Amino acid sequence: MKAGGSISIWFFIGVSLLFNGVLILAAGIYQYLQPPEAPTVLFNLHAGIWWGAILAILGVIYCILYCPSRMKTQ
C-alpha cells in the first residue's frame, strides 16, 4: 500500500529500523570498547551489536526495496 502519491508504508518502516539499528549498533560498539561499571545481565553476549546490526540490515533492505523513486518506475 502506498501513501500520498508514492511512498510505501514499508519504506517508513525501513527508515525507522535503519535509524534505530544504527544507533543501537553504535551504542553497542561503544559499550564493547568502554565496558560500563554496572553491566546488564548477559552483557558478554553484546546483544546491542548483533541486534542493532540485524535491525540496520533489515532497514537497508526495506529502504531499497520500497524506495519511492524505485516504486515510481514499477
Partner 1 sequence: MTALLAFASNNRLVHLSTVDLAIIVFYFLLVLAIGFYLKERANTGEDFFMAGREMTAWIAGLSFLSANLGSLELMGWAGSAYQYGILAAHWYWVGAIPAMLFLALVMMPFYYISKTHSVPGYLKLRFGESSRALSSISFAFMTVLMSGINMYSMALVLKIVLGWNINLSIWVSAGTVAIYVALGGLRSAIFNEVLQFVLIWAGALLIPILGLIEAGGWSGLKARITTNASAEYVHLWSTLGSAKDNPMGIQWIGIVFGLGAVISMGYWTTDFLVVQRVLTSKDMRAAKMAPIIGAAFKMFVPFIVILPGLLALAVLPIKLMPEAQAIATGGHSYNEVLPLMLARYCGPGLLGLGITALIAGFMSGMAGNVSAFTTVWTYDIYRAFIKKDGSDHHYVNMGRWCTVLGVAISIGTAYLVMDFKSIMDYVQALFSFFIAPLFATVIIGMLWKRASPAGGFWGLLAGTASSVAMWAWVKVDPSALRYIALSPYAKDMAENMYRALWSCIICALVTIVVSLLTKPKPESELKGLVYGATEIPPESYVTVLHRPWFWATVVGVVFIALQIAYW
Contacting positions for partner 1 (CB under 8 A): 1, 3-4, 7, 9, 12-13, 15-17, 19-20, 23-28, 30-31, 36, 39-43, 45, 47-48, 51-52, 55
Smallest distance from partner 1 to CB 70, Å: 18
Closer residue to partner 1, CB minimum distance, 19 or 65: 19
Contact 32, 53 (CB under 8 A): no
Smallest distance from partner 1 to CB 59, Å: 10
Euclidean distance between CA atoms 34 and 50, whole angstroms: 17
Q: Which of 65, 52, 50, 55 is nearest to 9 (CA)?
A: 65
